[in-house]
A and B are shown apart, each in its own frame.
Chain A
Amino acid sequence: MNTLLAAQRHASFSRRHFFQGMGACIALPAFSSLAHGASRSAPTRMAVVYVPNGAIPAAFWPAGEAGGAFELSPTLSPLAKVHQQLQVISGLTDLSANAGPDGAGDHARASGTFLTGVRIKKTAGSDIRAGVSIDQVIANQIGHLTRFSSLELTCDAVRKSGDCDSGYACAYEYNLAWRSHNQPLSPEHNPRFVFERLFGTGSPRERVGNLKRRQADQKSILDFVLADARSVKAKLDGRDKQKLDQYLTSVREIEQRIENSTRMSVKNPDIDAPAGIPDGYQEHVALMFDMLALAFQTDSTRVATMLMSREGSNRSFADIGIASGHHDLTHHKNSPEIIEKVKLIDRWYMQRLAGFLEKMQNTEDVDGKSLLDHSMILYGSGNADGNRHTHEDLPIVLAGGGSGVLKPGRFIKASGVPITNLFLTMADGMGAKGVESHGDSTGRLNV
């Protein structure tokens, strides 16, 4: 790219992105077959979309009365088309991410505690400990209703070597979902593999057959390895045993999935699988969101997490004229020029969310309403003000109607309420029964 072109791109940034926002990566196919299913009532879906490094508070929070309508703030402005599907919630906290006795490491803590709601163990790798994340609590109850109990996605394709944040193991930054206190669920970063996991490999016509054949072969393999694993595990103890436990639960989950597949039909979209990871980050995010929408639309899963980028990400955004790294910029030294750049990044991420929500809004569900009407999409960060590493007043947007459970179009002003309280409310909305507490929750948040 030459300099003139770069300047051009930078100067006409908003117009260019407006047009790019219009062009979707994949047109979601219409599923007439879905409507002929046994049940005409649509299920509720839930996704958590995580953005790193918080958001500039002044540009994030909208104007509006508590409980009433609100005007979009500069950062939220890309969401104009789905304004009436949004609740903005202030006053939520993730106090488990505060330093306490553990000192530095607010980035690792922000993501490690976000869905688990518990303090995470400060360790460079020897005894990782978080808690079960809320998505997995919910998936444990409703996961058997779909072919995949949950889906974990990320748009971070490259990892750095060496240490992560201030003595915390990298697992805390690169994983959102935790199946148990020591088993993070590594997210998939390649849209092609997401697609092939959901629908099989090969051409649109062959792929379901391929999927079934593979799974049939896998059944006997899994029987064999289960026996191997049991005999090995019997001879181990302590942490070695935990490792084999992770292996065993993983094997059982695949068995369960294969079992489910025999009962549930694969709703195969008549489109080609994506080729792989697009070169541009923007295209990567868009394609990943397409995969998520497709998974929801085909009812392959109802629970998902999407880590846009690891917490503490230092990605630069050359497309919008930002050559410095995101994390470096968030420590902005109160320089107005740098703050403006961070706002642009905050807005950039919000545009990606907008693309996804619009797609969900424009996709019809089995009952004629939109996918978004039947969803709860939580967007936010475990860091509030990235400059000061605060974990109070987290930037949180909750989108969708939740099949009537949520009343969008309002600004909810909570005050010092653990975000886990909101998770309990979402668990209720998802039909998870008897989830009385989660992490540091103190009750349910009325939204």
Chain B
Amino acid sequence: MQAVSQTREGLLLVSLNFRSRTIAATLTATILLPFSAPLPAAETGNPTVAEYRAVISPILEKHCYECHGDGYDKGKVAFDSLETDQQIQEPELWLRVLLNTRAGLMPAEQKPRLNLVEQAQLERWIKYSVFKIDARNPDPGRVTVRRLNRVEYRNTVRDLLGVDYNTDHEFPPDDTGFGFDNIGDALTTSPMLMEKYVAAAQTIVAQAVPAAPSKPAEQIVKGAAFEGQNARLRWGKRQLQFHEPANVSANFKTELAGSYRVKFDLEVNGSYFPDPGKARVILKIDGKEFLKQEFAYHDEKSYVFESTHKWQPSEHTLSIELQPTIPPLKKETIIDLFVNKVTIEGPLEKSQWVKTENYERYFPRPVPAGAKQRRAYATELLGAFAAKAYRRPLTQADDDTAERLAKLAEDHYREPGKTFEQGVAHAMAAVLSSPRFLFRLEAPAAHALNAQVADVDEYSLASRLSYFLWSTMPDEQLMSLAARRELRNNLSTQVKRMLADPRAENFARNFTGQWLQARDVEGIASNPREIHIRDAGEEGSLRDLRKAWRNQDEATAKRLAEYIDRLVDAKPEFDGDMRKAMRRETEMFFGHVVSEDRPVTDLIDSNYIFVNDKLALLYGLPDITGPEMRKVTLPAGSPRGGMLTQGSALFVTSNPDRTSPVKRGLFVLANFLGTPPPPPPANVPALEASEEDFKGHDPVLRDILKVHRENPACASCHNRMDPIGLAFENFNALGMWRDTERKQPIETQGNLITGETFTSVAELKRILAQDHRQEFYATLTRKLLTYASGRGTEYYDVETIDGIVKRLNANDGRFSSLLMGVIESAPFQKMRIQATATVAN
């Protein structure tokens, strides 16, 4: 037995590291015995191949050869051409077979399906013979070390140092893999990004860490506190506009006698195109003018004006006067002067300074005097900070991180003009630039489960959990549980706690935001005007308008323009707030399914949605007032409910000027059913469809897409996508309900490739949620597992996914069974041990 188990482990090691099929094939006998059915006499000596010949091949011959054998090789698959052991045991081929037979896509339409026994035989052979899955100890796979993406970086820095560093603005977007931006393999590091990391670290510590224990007291007069003539308010700031005179003032008190510094923080913010408009601004303190300056257009520019004063305890008045000098040229251009704030520092005399805010957070004790003691203090502070930032203690015997950081700090604070605190801050910037901060380095637990696989250690588990559910570093509770090695034993309590935490919003935002592309809602291009004109079938009027304008027929142009304006103005305004509401709806809906532990089929269909006044208007729901998003129960017969008919999904799957049934069909297949058709052939034949073919009216999309079905090269895939997409045609490219397109009634009936027919989107949703529940469970599991594990799913993950689907089935599809299934799975809990063990510190 000893020899057998060694061989088995040896085999696994070889096949995992090199994926050498030949070596694996010759050694399979020892490993698979426990899981295989009794085998017929093996001609080749390879039981997997033998079983293929004896059991599997006859099933395939009976059901599949009509397209994939006897000289046919549809989709380049011909089972009777599999000859060598290697060809017979090709995992990618059998993964496709597994998924396609399960989904009912194969055998195709009219042909008889495999019966339950055949399907079970096939599945068992694929999973345990070809994939060589050890059901009791599935392969956790290998996740490449993950760099923090820019969302994770931002959140981590906020939790670590209390600084909100806008990485969306400062860092380049992260490359995505498998549809997500947290995939280790896809996250690369370029010199430019590294440069930004170092610069960001310097900026962040300068903002967070006090440079000295005390400093002059500070009071802030907020922009909104200024009152007076034409004092408008926007984004919580006082807004003065360049085209109208304004005069505003605010008061503050000085309690102590001394010198004070007053800083006006203003901002010029103009919309869109540059404008020659100018305005004179006069700043006064206690009625005395200290600045008079003319301001010009800027799309965004900050100004700080300082002055110092000697004051007794008294009341003071600050005033800001704006006089238009050159009015803005264009009506749609607005130039604003924003009053952000005025800061009053003082008394400036050192004897009157106050303790720096947040000082104890970084420096719990006063800085010692002696050089040696200082160095020791720096070592202590920086060791603790590094451990927190690296998300694991610096306990390795040879770890001299704290000492090296203290040396770095000392070299810095010994420079003339530098304080001890600045030196420590400098070393903290080094911590934030280190790969141990920027990458999620993981380590195996002390005791491996076998020669290939170990649990990840508890610190790695803490990070896996926190980056999965919070997109940020673990908090103190997770870290202290990890330190006591009690996290793994308290998973469900911790997961519950984490989901109840506001940070869990990141889960909905980043998972759903990418799975269903809701994050894109605020960025993608759209032309609502064109969409409404096209929907109404008034493109002809628009063409006439342009013609009239070219012909300088102003009367006609005006009439037509007014006509079109009326048509468009009757629709809800599609602005940034609307886009935001769409994104929030998707996040809140998903958040609701998570927090209320709803069945995940709610994501396909539900009797509730989340809206505010704007979104309700778009959806045609009456009596919703106020901008706050809330849960609303849908009236009976409403076509809404679930994720697919939410604005975000309908909007991101549309073109800038019209709907795209193909994109919508693909969206459903890829994200809900997990059976996206293969991409279009490399050289798409040109479709000769001119609009003249559609006599009498502008063609609607159903007409145009008919071309797909008539062309055999397109039909096999478009017959899967187009009917699904066309079922959503009652929703326009902005997600609004419509009864007609280009004055033609909309037809939504169709059928799925698997045979089910539907007449409306409501019926389609019902079919998806009921008849295709298993595929949906598996697809959602696959997506969540990808997001949680930071790698694409591989063929050997089938066992893990099947296990989670089983769990969903046993629990009415409750979200918690999916989530805990993923968290307790091998890919999340374990890691492969490499030849040279990964040790994080």
* A interface residues, Cβ below 8 angstroms from B: 1-4, 6-8, 10-11, 98-99, 103-106, 124-128, 152, 158-167, 169-171, 174-175, 179, 182-190, 193, 197, 214, 217-218, 220-222, 224-225, 227-229, 232, 235-240, 243-244, 246-247, 249-251, 253-254, 257, 275-276, 278-280, 314-316, 318, 321, 323-325, 328, 331, 333-335, 337, 387-390
For the complex of A and B, list the 7 residue pairs with the smallest distance between their C-beta atoms, beginning with the closest. A125-B177, A99-B682, A104-B679, A166-B679, A250-B194, A323-B530, A4-B561
Q: Which residue of B lies closest to A151 (CB)?
A: B192
CA distance A253 to B120 in the complex (A): 57
Say which residue of A169, A217, A275, A325 sits within 8 Å of B202 (CB atoms).
A217
Say which residue of A4, A279, A389 sits within 8 Å of B558 (CB atoms).
A4
> With A217-B202, A333-B690, A335-B690 in contact, do A161 and B834 touch (Cβ < 8 Å)?
no
Residue pairs across A and B with Cβ atoms less than 8 A apart, 22 shown, are A4-B545, A126-B177, A126-B792, A160-B517, A161-B520, A170-B176, A171-B175, A174-B175, A182-B188, A184-B175, A186-B175, A221-B201, A228-B435, A229-B435, A232-B436, A236-B836, A238-B144, A239-B185, A243-B188, A244-B145, A244-B439, A318-B527
CA distance A17 to B682 in the complex (A): 37
> With A217-B426, A251-B194 in contact, do A388 and B686 touch (Cβ < 8 Å)?
yes
> With A2-B565, A4-B561, A389-B682 in contact, do A328 and B838 touch (Cβ < 8 Å)?
no
A279 engages B272 (CB within 8 Å): yes
B188 engages A315 (CB within 8 Å): no
Say which residue of B194, B519, B683 sits within 8 Å of A161 (CB atoms).
B519
B682 engages A250 (CB within 8 Å): no
If A4-B561, A152-B192 are given as contacts, then 13 extra A-B residue pairs at C-beta distance below 8 Å, sorted by A number, are A163-B670, A166-B680, A171-B186, A185-B191, A218-B199, A237-B836, A240-B144, A254-B198, A275-B299, A279-B272, A314-B656, A316-B527, A335-B689
B residues 549-573 near A (Cβ < 8 Å) are 549-550, 557-558, 560-561, 564-565, 568
> With A2-B561, A4-B557, A182-B188 in contact, do A235 and B430 touch (Cβ < 8 Å)?
no
Q: Does B40 lie at the interface of the complex (its beta carbon under 8 Å from any beta carbon of A)? A: no
> With A224-B404, A323-B656 in contact, do A3 and B568 touch (Cβ < 8 Å)?
yes
CA distance A127 to B185 in the complex (A): 7
B792 engages A161 (CB within 8 Å): no
CA distance A169 to B180 in the complex (A): 10
> With A125-B177, A238-B834 in contact, do A11 and B549 touch (Cβ < 8 Å)?
yes
Say which residue of B179, B188, B546, B683 sits within 8 Å of A183 (CB atoms).
B188
B546 engages A10 (CB within 8 Å): yes
B436 engages A228 (CB within 8 Å): yes
Q: Does B687 lie at the interface of the complex (its beta carbon under 8 Å from any beta carbon of A)? A: yes
Q: Which residue of B lies closest to A213 (CB)?
A: B202
Say which residue of A240, A247, A389 sits within 8 Å of B189 (CB atoms).
A247
Interface stretch, picked from B243-251, B405-413, B482-490, B494-502, is B405-413
- Tell me the smallest distance from the CB of A363 to a CB of chain B, in Å: 22
> With A124-B792, A243-B147, A276-B300 in contact, do A250 and B436 touch (Cβ < 8 Å)?
no
CA distance A104 to B561 in the complex (A): 44
Say which residue of B192, B298, B429, B561 sits within 8 Å of A221 (CB atoms).
B429
B191 engages A3 (CB within 8 Å): no
CA distance A224 to B410 in the complex (A): 13
Q: Which residue of A lies closest to B193 (CB)?
A: A186
- Tell me the smallest distance from the CB of A241 to a CB of chain B, in Å: 9
Say which residue of A214, A224, A333, A388 sits within 8 Å of B688 (CB atoms).
A333
- Contact residue range for chain B? 35 or more
B residues 158-214 near A (Cβ < 8 Å) are 169-170, 172-173, 175-179, 181, 183-195, 198-199, 201-202
- Tell me the smallest distance from the CB of A231 to a CB of chain B, in Å: 9
A250 engages B193 (CB within 8 Å): yes
- Tell me the smallest distance from the CB of B670 to a CB of chain A, in Å: 8
B411 engages A220 (CB within 8 Å): yes
Say which residue of A103, A105, A197, A333 sits within 8 Å of B195 (CB atoms).
A197
B193 engages A161 (CB within 8 Å): no
Q: Does B524 lie at the interface of the complex (its beta carbon under 8 Å from any beta carbon of A)? A: yes
CA distance A160 to B564 in the complex (A): 32
- Tell me the smallest distance from the CB of A94 to a CB of chain B, in Å: 14
B430 engages A224 (CB within 8 Å): yes
B679 engages A105 (CB within 8 Å): yes
CA distance A193 to B191 in the complex (A): 14
- Tell me the smallest distance from the CB of B797 to a CB of chain A, in Å: 13
A11 engages B525 (CB within 8 Å): no
A235 engages B144 (CB within 8 Å): no
CA distance A171 to B181 in the complex (A): 11
CA distance A169 to B655 in the complex (A): 22
Say which residue of A184, A221, A238 sits within 8 Å of B430 (CB atoms).
A221
B188 engages A171 (CB within 8 Å): yes
CA distance A331 to B707 in the complex (A): 14
A162 engages B179 (CB within 8 Å): yes
CA distance A146 to B179 in the complex (A): 38
B529 engages A106 (CB within 8 Å): no
B299 engages A243 (CB within 8 Å): no
Q: Which residue of B lies closest to A126 (CB)?
A: B185
Residues on A with C-beta less than 8 A from B404 are 224, 227
Q: Does B433 lie at the interface of the complex (its beta carbon under 8 Å from any beta carbon of A)? A: yes
- Tell me the smallest distance from the CB of B365 to a CB of chain A, in Å: 25
CA distance A257 to B195 in the complex (A): 10
Say which residue of A214, A220, A240, A250 sits within 8 Å of B191 (CB atoms).
A250
B408 engages A275 (CB within 8 Å): no
Q: Does B133 lie at the interface of the complex (its beta carbon under 8 Å from any beta carbon of A)? A: no
Residues on A with C-beta less than 8 A from B679 are 103-105, 165-167
A98 engages B682 (CB within 8 Å): yes
CA distance A62 to B175 in the complex (A): 38
Q: Does B514 lie at the interface of the complex (its beta carbon under 8 Å from any beta carbon of A)? A: yes
Residues on B with C-beta less than 8 A from A161 are 176, 179, 181, 513-514, 517, 519-520
Q: Does B523 lie at the interface of the complex (its beta carbon under 8 Å from any beta carbon of A)? A: yes
A334 engages B686 (CB within 8 Å): yes
CA distance A165 to B176 in the complex (A): 12
Say which residue of A247, A316, A333 sits within 8 Å of B686 (CB atoms).
A333
B688 engages A3 (CB within 8 Å): no
CA distance A228 to B560 in the complex (A): 69
Q: Which of A125, A159, A224, A390 has the most CB of B within 10 A?
A: A125
B834 engages A237 (CB within 8 Å): yes
A253 engages B682 (CB within 8 Å): no
A276 engages B688 (CB within 8 Å): no
A186 engages B682 (CB within 8 Å): no
CA distance A159 to B149 in the complex (A): 14
- Tell me the smallest distance from the CB of A156 to a CB of chain B, in Å: 9
> With A3-B564, A128-B185, A189-B172 in contact, do A232 and B301 touch (Cβ < 8 Å)?
no
Q: Does B835 lie at the interface of the complex (its beta carbon under 8 Å from any beta carbon of A)? A: yes
Say which residue of A3, A124, A128, A247 sits within 8 Å of B529 (CB atoms).
A3
- Tell me the smallest distance from the CB of B699 to a CB of chain A, in Å: 11
- Tell me the smallest distance from the CB of A217 to a CB of chain B, in Å: 6
Q: Which residue of B lies closest to A283 (CB)?
A: B273
Residues on B with C-beta less than 8 A from A165 are 679
Q: Does B684 lie at the interface of the complex (its beta carbon under 8 Å from any beta carbon of A)? A: yes
Residues on A with C-beta less than 8 A from B145 are 236, 239-240, 243-244
Say which residue of A2, A124, A387 sits within 8 Å of B177 (CB atoms).
A124
CA distance A188 to B171 in the complex (A): 9
> When each residue 677-707 of chain B gets 1 if its CB lies under 8 Å from chain A and 0 otherwise, what string results?
0111111101111110000000000000000
B688 engages A334 (CB within 8 Å): yes
Q: Does B240 lie at the interface of the complex (its beta carbon under 8 Å from any beta carbon of A)? A: no
Q: Does B837 lie at the interface of the complex (its beta carbon under 8 Å from any beta carbon of A)? A: yes
- Tell me the smallest distance from the CB of A348 to a CB of chain B, in Å: 15
> With A7-B557, A217-B426, A334-B688 in contact, do A169 and B177 touch (Cβ < 8 Å)?
yes
- Tell me the smallest distance from the CB of B231 to a CB of chain A, in Å: 26
- Tell me the smallest distance from the CB of B428 to a CB of chain A, in Å: 10
Q: Does B434 lie at the interface of the complex (its beta carbon under 8 Å from any beta carbon of A)? A: yes
- Tell me the smallest distance from the CB of A293 to a CB of chain B, in Å: 20
Q: Does B839 lie at the interface of the complex (its beta carbon under 8 Å from any beta carbon of A)? A: yes
B residues 201-238 near A (Cβ < 8 Å) are 201-202
- Tell me the smallest distance from the CB of A414 to a CB of chain B, in Å: 23
